[in-house]
Amino acid sequence: MQWQNRYKTAARGQKRGKRMERVKKYTGVYAYTSTTKRHQGRPDVCFYVTIKNQGKKERHKIGWRSEGVDAAYASQKRTELLNQVRLGEQPRVRPKEGLTLQEAWILYYENHCRTNTKTPQKMFSRWKCLVKDELGGKMLSEISPLDLETLKATLQEQGKSPKTIETALALIRSIYRKAELWDLYRGKIPTDRIQWPRYDNQRQRWLTPQEARALLQEVQGRCRDPQRLFWRMCMIALYTGLRFSEIANLRGEQLNLAAGTIRAQNTKSGRDRTVFITGELEQVLTNIPMQPGHLVFPARNGGVHKEVPGLFPRAVKALGLNDGVDDRKHKVVFHTLRHTFGSWLAISGVPLFWIARLMGHSNQETTERYSHLCPDMQRHAVDCIDTAFHHGITPGLWFSLGGRQNTNPDPDGDTEPASPA
C-alpha cells in the first residue's frame, strides 16, 4: 500500500517520494530522474505510463533510458496496453513483490542510507562496484542462493578480499530486509541460505614503547600547524584507545580536564563511553582551545577529518616500521595506536572485561584477541584454586597472586578455610 500511495502522489506532480514529471508531448507518460543512477555522464531517466483499467488507474514501468527506452517508446507501449484493455485482455501487472534489486536499492538508498548511515557515499560505491552489474536487473523474487554464490566467485576472481565480499552480501541482505519491512517484498531472503566468507582481518601489530616514542616524535616533527593538533590526536589514541573517528569528532564539552575524562559520543558501537586522561596526556591537552560546540581537532577546512592525514603514513615510512611487511594485519597504521593501548593493558595484567569497557568493544570476541598477551594472568587465575583449597578463599586473592593489591575487598567474601573431602 505504501508503494502504491508513493507513486499515486508522485503521479499528481507533487514533490514527495519519487519525483515524477509528466512528459507534455505524450499523454500518460511520466519520467523519473534518478539521483543515483547515471547514463552517459548524466542522471538516468526511468519512464512510466498510466492507464485506466476497469475504472482504476494503473501505473506501469516501461524502462530506463540506459536500456534504450525513451518517451516515444513509452507512449507506444501505453497504446499497446490500452488496446489490450479495450479488447478485454488484462495487461501484465507487476506483482507487489515484483521489484528488481536495482529498484529496491534506490528506495533503500534514498530512504535509509542518506539519513541513517554515516557514510552513504560508501554504500553507493559498494552497490555500484560490487553488486549492480551482476544482480541489479534481477527481480528480488528471482535471485537465488546460487546467484549469490556466483557473485562471490566473480568477486573472488577480481581479487576482492573476503571482507569486501562480505560487505557486498551484507548490502544485499540489508536491501532485502528493508524491502520486507516496508511491505515491498514477501519471500525468502537468499543471503540466509549461503555460506558467508570466513576471515581473520583484525590488526595484530602493536608498538613497543620505543617504537611508540619514535613514531610520536616523528609525527610531532612533521606537523606544520603551530599547535601540532594531529600529534595530539595520536597521543589521545595511544593513551585512551579512542578510534580516529571518535577523536576527529570531539567537541569542547566532551573533554573535562578537571575531572580527567573524555566522553566519546556517536561511537562505532552506538553507545557513549568515558575514557580517562593520564597526567602526561593532560599536559598535552592543556594549551588547546576547547570551546563547547566547536571541534577540538578541526581539519584544514574547519570541518571533521574524513581520513587520517597523510603525514602519518609518511612518518611510518620514514621510520621503516612497515619495511618488508606485506600482510595488512601486521602493518602499522593509525589504528595501531588503539591496538597498542589494548595490548599494553593486557600485558600489564588488566582483566579483559575492563579492556573491553575502556575500548568500547561491543563483541567479546574482539577483546579475546588480547588474551594471548597475558598468559601469566591466566596462570595466576588458575593458581587461585590451589591456594583457596589449602588456605581458604581470600577476597582479592587474584590481585595478590598477580602482584597487585586489592584496594576494594569484598566485605561479604567467604574467608573460611576449605575442608578437603
**pLDDT, the chain, mean:** 83
76-105 pLDDT per residue, tens: 989 988 888 887 765 554 444 478 999 999
In CATH terms, 101-193 corresponds, of 1.10.150.130, 2.30.30.170, 3.40.50.720, 1.10.1280.10, to 1.10.150.130
Is it the case that residue 201 has pLDDT exceeding 80? no
Question: Is the pLDDT score of 406 beyond 70?
Answer: no
DSSP 158-173: TT--HHHHHHHHHHHH
Residues 133-137: what's their mean pLDDT? Answer: 92
Residue 151 has pLDDT above 50, yes or no: yes
Question: What are the pLDDT digits (tens) for 231-240?
Answer: 999 999 999 9
Tens-digit pLDDT profile for residues 277-313: 999 999 999 989 899 999 999 998 899 998 999 999 9
Grid cell, residue 346, equals 593486557
Confidence band, pLDDT 50/70/90 cuts, at residue 4: very low
Sheet holding 42-53, edge to edge: 20-22, 29-39, 42-53, 56-64
For residues 48 and 29, what is the distance between their CA atoms, to the nearest angstrom?
6
Burial 215-245 (b: 16+ CB within 10 A, else e): bbebbeebbeeeebbbbbbbbbbbbbbbbbb
Residue 132 has pLDDT above 80, yes or no: yes
**CATH class of segment(s) 209-364:** mainly alpha
Sequence spans of domains, the chain: 2-86, 101-193, 209-364, 374-421
Give the CATH architecture of domain 2-86.
Answer: 2-Layer Sandwich (3.30)
Which residues touch 11 (CB under 8 Å, ≥6 apart)? 20, 30, 50, 57, 59
Half-sphere exposure of 192 (CA within 13 A, CB side): 6
Alpha-helix residue ranges (DSSP H) falling in 261-323: 279-285, 311-319
Res 399: pLDDT: 53
